[in-house]
Each structure stands twice: as C-alpha cells, then as structure tokens.
Structure 1
Amino acid sequence: MIRYDLTGEVATVTFDRPEKRNALTLEGLAEFRDALDRGAEEARAVVLRGAGDAFCAGDDIASVAGLGDEVAPATLATRLYDALFGPERVEVPVIAAVDGPAYGGGFEIVAAADLAVATADATFALPEASIGAYPPYAVARVGEACGRKRLLELALTGDPVDAGTAAEWGLLNRVVGEGDFDDAVSDLTEAVCAAPAPAVALVKRYVRAAAADPDERARLVEGFSAVADEPECLAAAERFLSGST
C-alpha cells in the first residue's frame, strides 16, 4: 500500500490505498518504515502524500483490532512506534503534503513530519480514544507544538479541526489553496534540499533529541498492550467495526 518514487534528490512516499482512504494495515506500517529508511539513503528530502481524496485515515481498524493470537499487541505497538516515530528518526527532512483528511495515525504522521503543507480543506483528528485505543505519537509529542489542553481536547473528544486551526495551533507550516498546493510543496522541498546535508542532519538530530530515548519505545509498547487487554476498550473497537458508534 506504500508507493515509493525517487525524482532527483526527492523521494515521494505515497499512501496508496485510496479505496480505504489510505488506512494503514500492519504490513503497511512496516512498508512505510522501510520507505522512510530508503528515502534517507537515496534522497535529500522525503515528501509524504496520500492517493485519492485523503492523506491517511490512520490504522485500518478492521485489520488490526481483532488480531488476537495471530499478532500480539506488543508486535502491533512496535510496528506503530517504528512507523509513527519514523519521520523524526531519519536524518533527512520529511515533509507532509496533506490534501484531505489526516486522522488517527495519519494525523500523527503529519505531526511527526519536520514540515507540513496542507490544502485549506484538509482536516485533522485523533479519534483513537473513542474506539478504545490511544494515539501514541500524539501523547508523546503533539503537546510540544499545540499545548497540553489543545492536545487533550483533540485526543479526548476525537473532534476534527480544519487546516486553519491546525496551522494556528502550530501543527502545520503552510495552508494554501488547491491550485497552489503542488507549488508550495515543491518550493519548500527545494529550499530544504538546497542546504548542505550534514548541517540539515545536525539540525534534525538536536531538534529531535528525544527520539534517541531508548526507553520511549518500551513505554509505548507497555501502554498499548495494557489498553489492548481492557474489556471496555475491546468493546469500543467492536462497536466501531459494527457501525454502532
């Protein structure tokens, strides 16, 4: 479900499952991590896009909620960590180009990107709590950008915000009209590619110093596994899948 294209110095990673609004399966999470690593090796910048009318709707709940004995919650949590924290882990700039909804893990990937450009009709939401889960990257990082109370509003209500609000809250760099979107992404990408790669890598390394915390992954896995075993959380996921929420 991940498409990788290299054009000159820029790698484009596209969430390419438009019939499911680019929702991420367990395999898709691993593919995304691998695409980021490949981009870091081959390019000076990585641009993230979504196919169709959405950026990324987050996790494919139908494919991950009832994994049961096939895949342990710790395995899913590890895949989530590697994917959602991936943009801050690689040393090249990662730019999210958002046209359409970015929900759940899709929103977290936008937040994790170093820079983000969105069209005016893009929307952002963290609905995980309503279906018995939690947004691991958001709770760890998004408060740094938008403040604790705004993060809690996003995470506890699941209500979407528009691109203008997301920019005002520090979650986007630029909001542009549909006709200016590709040019805005290209201009920003060209600007970061023009800087010497060692200097760019050093800037990212210090700005993203928390990514080096060896205990962070373990904390996320532990917390995710605990939530996955809660009957009330499992019931919420089942209601979501049945369409009764």
Structure 2
Amino acid sequence: MIRYDLTDEVATVTFDRPEKRNALTLDGLAEFREALDRGAEEARVVVLRGAGDAFCAGDDIASVAGLGEEVAPATLATRLYDALFGPEQVEVPVIAAVDGPAYGGGFEIVAAADLAVATADAAFALPEATIGAYPPYAVARVGEACGRKRLLELALTGEPIDAETAREWGLCNRVVEGSGLDDAVDDLTQAVCSVPGPSVALVKRYVRAATEDADERARLVEGFSAVADEPECLAAAERFLSGGE
C-alpha cells in the first residue's frame, strides 16, 4: 500500500490505498518505515503524499482490532513507533503534502514531518481515544507545537480542525489552494536541496536531540498493552467497527 518514487534528489512516498482513504494496515506501517529509510539513503528530501481524496485516515481499525489473538499488542505498538516516529528519526528532511483528511496516525505522521504544506481542504483529527486507543506520537510531541490545552482538546474530543487552524497552531507551515500544492511543495524541496546536506543533517540531528527519550518505545508498548484488554476500550472499538450501533 506504499508507493515509492525517486526523481533526482527527491523521494516521494505515497500512501496508496485510496479505497480505504489510505488507512494503514500492520504491514503498511512496516512498509512506510522501510520507504522512509530507503528515501534517507537515496534522496536529499522525502515528500509524503496520499493517493485519492485523503492524505491518510490513520490505522485500518478493522485490520488491527483484536490483534491480541494473533499478534501481541507489543508488536502493533512497535510497528506504530517505527512508523509514527520515523519522519523525525531519518537524517533527511521529510515534507508532508496534505490534501484531504489526515486523521489519527495520518495526523501524527504530518506532525512528525519536518515541514508540512496543506490544502484548504485538508482536515486534522486525533480520534484514537474515542475508539479505545490513544495517539502515541501526538501525546509525546504535538504539545510542543500547539500547546498542552490544544493537544488535550484534540486528543480527548477527537474533533477535527481545518487546515488554517492547523497552521495557526503550528502543525503545518503553509496552507494553499488545492491547485497550488505541488508548486508549494516544489518550492520547499528546492530550497532544502540547495542547502549543503551535512548542514541539513546536523540541524535535524540537534532538533531531534532536544526531544529524544530512550524510554519512549517502552512506554508506547506499555500503553498499548494496557488498553488492549480493557473492556471499555474494546467496546469502543467494536462500536466503531459496527458503525456506532
């Protein structure tokens, strides 16, 4: 479900499952991280896009719900960590080009990207808690950008915000009309590619160092394991999968 393209110095990683609004399966999470790592080796900039009318709707709940019988919650948590924290961990800049919804893990991937351009039609939400989970990257990082109370509003209500609000809250750099997305992303990639690579890598390394925490992965695994067996959380996921009945 991940498409990888390399043109000159730019790697484009596309969430390519438009029939499911690019929702990520367990395998898709691993494919995404593999594509990020490949882009870091082959390109100077990685651009993230979504196929169809969405950027990424987050996890495919139908495919990951009830994984405890087949896949340990720790496995899911590890895949999520590697994918959601991936954009900040790779050495090259990552730019998110957002058109349409970026929900759940999709929102967190945008937040983890170094730069983000959104169309006026983009929308952002963190609905994980409403279906018995939680947004692991967001609770670790998004408060730095938008503030604690705004993060809590996003994470505790699941209500979406529009692109202009996301820009005002520091969650994306620019908002453009849909027809201007490619030009705006091209402008950023060209500007970044004009900067010496070692300087770019050093900037990313020191920005990341300010927030690095060796215990983050362990806490994420612990958190997902904790909610995996909670009856109230399981019931919330089941309601979501049954259409809210």
Q: Deviations over 1:22-45 (max 9, x none)?
A: 000000000000000000000000
Q: Deviations over 1:130-177 (max 9, x none)?
A: 000000000000000000000000000000000000000000000001
Please give the TM-score of this superposition, normalised by the length of structure 2: 0.98
What is the one-letter code of the residue matched to 2:33? R
Contact 1:88–1:211 under 8 Å retained in 2: no
Q: Deviations over 1:73-125 (max 9, x none)?
A: 00000000000000000010000000000000000000000000000110000
Quote how far apart the aligned CAs of 1:68 are: 2.5
Contact 1:146–1:171 under 8 Å retained in 2: yes
2:141 maps to what in 1? 141
| Worse overlay, 9-18 or 209-218 | 209-218
Q: Secondary structure at the match of 1:200?
A: helix
Say yes or no: does 1:243 pair with 2:243: yes
Say yes or no: does 1:53 pair with 2:53: yes
Where does the alignment leave 5 or more consecutive residues of structure 2 unmatched?
Answer: none
1:206 maps to what in 2? 206
Contact 2:122–2:163 under 8 Å retained in 1: yes
Q: Distance in 2 between matches of 1:178 and 1:141?
A: 28
Contact 1:2–1:31 under 8 Å retained in 2: yes
Say yes or no: does 1:74 pair with 2:74: yes
Q: Distance in 2 between matches of 1:143 and 1:78?
A: 22
2:42 maps to what in 1? 42
Quote how far apart the aligned CAs of 1:229 are: 1.4
CA-based RMSD: 0.8
Q: Distance in 1 between matches of 2:210 and 2:60?
A: 28
Q: Secondary structure at the match of 1:11?
A: strand
CA separation of 1:189 and 1:201: change in aligned 2, threshold 3 A: same
Quote how far apart the aligned CAs of 1:210 are: 4.8
What is the one-letter code of the residue matched to 1:50? G
Q: Distance in 2 between matches of 1:159 and 1:57?
A: 14
1:222 maps to what in 2? 222
Where does the alignment leave 5 or more consecutive residues of structure 1 unmatched?
Answer: none
Quote how far apart the aligned CAs of 1:178 are: 1.2
Q: Distance in 1 between matches of 2:162 and 2:95?
A: 19
Contact 2:68–2:228 under 8 Å retained in 1: no
Quote how far apart the aligned CAs of 1:235 are: 0.5
1:106 maps to what in 2? 106
Q: Distance in 1 between matches of 2:60 and 2:211?
A: 26
Q: Distance in 2 between matches of 1:184 and 1:190?
A: 10
Please give the TM-score of this superposition, normalised by the length of structure 1: 0.98
Q: Distance in 2 between matches of 1:68 and 1:170?
A: 36
- Percent identity, please: 88
- Give the count of matched residue pairs: 245
| Runs (4+) off by over 6 Å | none
